[in-house]
Structure 1
Amino acid sequence: MYKKDIKVMDCTVRDGGLMNKWQFSDEFVRGVYDSCVEAGIDYMEIGYKSSERAFSRDEVGPWKFCDDKDLRRIVGDNNTSLKLSAMADIGRIDPEDIPPKSESVIDMMRVACYVHQVDKAVWLAEHCMDKGYEVTINLMAVSKVNEADLDEALADLAKSKVPTIYVVDSFGSLYCESIEKLVLKYKKALPGKELGIHAHNNMQLAMSNTITSLMNGATMLDATLLGMGRGAGNCPIEILIAFLKNPKYRLLPLLDAIQNHVKPWQEKIDWGYHVPYLITGALNEHPRSAMKWMDSEKKDDFVSFMKEMHDYELLE
């Protein structure tokens, strides 16, 4: 799988922060950053770019906002080959909260949206491009979208200046065949644009789906250390790097970060494979219900959760 155009993005702090409200210490973020630099990773998504009107600093950590004063405390001027990324959710960021690229150490803004928000996402992404950033649009929850709506969204994206579009398996519910079909669909509908993949691991298929995407033309590959991420987590970056066998990447620094920074968090929060996350993935449902169940005293009562979710599915 040695391809020159492959780019790997580590999303540990951004996606992992969904499990602890981005309450990571500077030491943790610096550890992830240093490991990505030493490992030759192309991009590190260091958090969200959000408005303080949407979130309170009393509830969420600094990596939900990615203010430059916080970023520079970790990375200085980032005089490395690693590029930094932040994600902006439609409706949770004001355009004026995004400084010009000349004033920020962030290199890329990734705009996350649902199909019905594509017009707003294109506007925000092109606004970020005008300010000097690299941009992507990450089209979320496509496993819930009907064909006609997806076709319309892709047509709008094709007309935009946005150079990179992501296939996102938000619920970890897609199999390789579906991923292949989606990537080929995006490729046909978006000529000249780069494709990315962001896979969740509810069905233990995030790595497989990432490889399938790569084999069918995706070149921006998202992953996290030890798969740390919302609910079942993501494609584990250490497995992806071991698989790629690309000489520009090194595995050892990633293992160091896992050992010293990421693994200790497993004693505090439950991400990764757990049966409730499997159930929501199998039913193509958002993992929020499984996350709530995992925080309750009934976390190991899988049968009751399955029955509850089955009843919920019948009601829909």
Structure 2
Amino acid sequence: MYKADIKVMDCTVRDGGLMNKWQFSDDFVRGVYKGCVEAGVDYMEIGYKSSESAFSRDEVGPWKFCDDKDLRRVVGDNDTKLKLSAMADIGRIAPEDIPPANESLIDMMRVACYCHQVDKAIWLAEHCMDKGYEVTINLMAVSKVNESDLDEALATLAKSRVPIIYVVDSFGSLYCESIEKLVKKYAAALPGKELGIHAHNNMQLAMSNTVTSLINGVTMLDATLLGMGRGAGNCPIEILIAFLKNPKYRLLPLLEAIQTQVKPWQEKIDWGYHIPYLITGALNEHPRSAMQWMDSEKKDDFVAFMKEMHDYELLE
């Protein structure tokens, strides 16, 4: 599906880092970066921008902070067409810890927030805009938000200067029909703004939900190498690029990055489609309980997990 205005963002390091506390080697990040550059990918989300006061470097790797010295060690001056992105979580980054864009290798700051944090997200995003960054706001966990609250959040976003708003299927619980409805709602409520999609793969629908979004006018598409990401992971970028058939993208460099960098991690961390993630997705629940189950000796006892989650649902 060729569309000239499509932009693809690789989130492998940022989202995949949720599975290993961003403790990737420089060679790994450099390999992903090289693959994205050679593949013609538009953006690479190389991690989070967080304050040192919010996290300890003894527990998390450098890609939780994205300090310029770490970025330059891996990508040099990034003298390429690839733009670098970092994600900022509300409450985990102090505005003064974000340098002016002309002093940073980061091109885009993506502010992640929940509906009740929209005002704070707008303030931070516009603060980043004033410092020279491209910005987005990624509205998380909308599958848990009632319609009136979502409408109110979108109305507030519509009044902001923020140019790009993301539909985020945080729990991998949405079907194509729901994604289509949400995208149309966002488009109607946010005239003149660009839309993005970030899909999780709990029910093996991340790719189809991304395509549904694309068909309905979304132009910023998130994906990761081999679907690497939190829990069930994300839309696999290699499948997305193969589908797009856009001459500006190349598949082979992504396959090389998967083979040399990402695939070996499957022996160390367990992301991707697994039954516990399906269960939390089907129940529209955060995958944290499934992630804990997958880290236990009971990870293959799907029946016990389903019964435990069913009892949890009855208590709700």
Task: Report what 2:226 is aligned to.
Answer: 226
- Per-residue deviation, residues 159-209 of structure 1 (Å, max 9, x unmatched): 000000000000000000000000000000000000000000000000000
Distance across 1 between alignment mates of 2:74 and 2:26: 7
Offset from partner CA, 1:70-95 (integer Å, 9 cap, x none): 00001111100000000000011100
Match of 2:159 in 1: 159
SS at match of 2:210: helix
Partners of 1:72 and 1:44 in 2: CA distance: 14
Q: Deviations over 1:15-45 (max 9, x none)?
A: 0000000000000000000000000000000
Q: 1:314, CA displacement in angstroms?
A: 1.1
Equivalent residues, number: 316
Alpha-carbon distance in 1 for matches of 2:95, 2:190 = 26
CA distance in 1, matches of 2:68, 2:196: 26
Structure 2: which 5+ runs fail to align? none
How big is each residue's C-alpha offset from its partner over 1:120-170, in whole Å with a ceiling of 9 and x where there is no partner? Answer: 000000000000000000000000000000000000000000000000000
* Partner deviation per Cα, 1:91-134 (whole Å, 9 max, x = no partner): 11100110000100000000000000000000000000000000
Aligned residue number for residue 277 of structure 1: 277
Secondary structure of the 2:37 match is helix
SS class of match (2:45): strand
Deviation track 1:185-241 (CA, whole Å, cap 9, x = no partner) reads 000000000000000000000000000000001000000000000000000000000
Question: After the TM superposition, which residues 206-225 of structure 1 pair with which residues of structure 2 at under 5 Å, given as runs?
Answer: 206-225=206-225
Q: Could you say which residue in structure 2 is the equivalent of 1:259?
A: 259
| Counterpart Cα distance in 1 of 2:307 and 2:54 | 35
Aligned to 2:52: 52
Q: 1:260 offset after TM fit, Å?
A: 0.3
Q: What is the rounded CA distance, in whole Å, between the counterparts of 1:293 and 1:305 in structure 2?
A: 8
Q: How far apart in 2 are the matches of 1:219 and 1:24?
A: 29
The Cα of 1:266 is off from its aligned counterpart by 0.2
Q: Deviations over 1:286-313 (max 9, x none)?
A: 0000000000000000000000001111
Structure 1 residue 28 corresponds to structure 2 residue 28: yes
Q: Displacement, 1:52?
A: 1.0
CA distance in 1, matches of 2:290, 2:314: 17
TM-score w.r.t. length of structure 1? 1.00
Query: 3-state DSSP class of the match of 2:137?
Result: strand
Show the 5 A alignment for 1:267-306: 267-306=267-306
1:256-300 residue CA offsets vs partner (Å, 9 max, x unmatched): 000000000000000001000000000000000000000000000
RMSD: 0.3
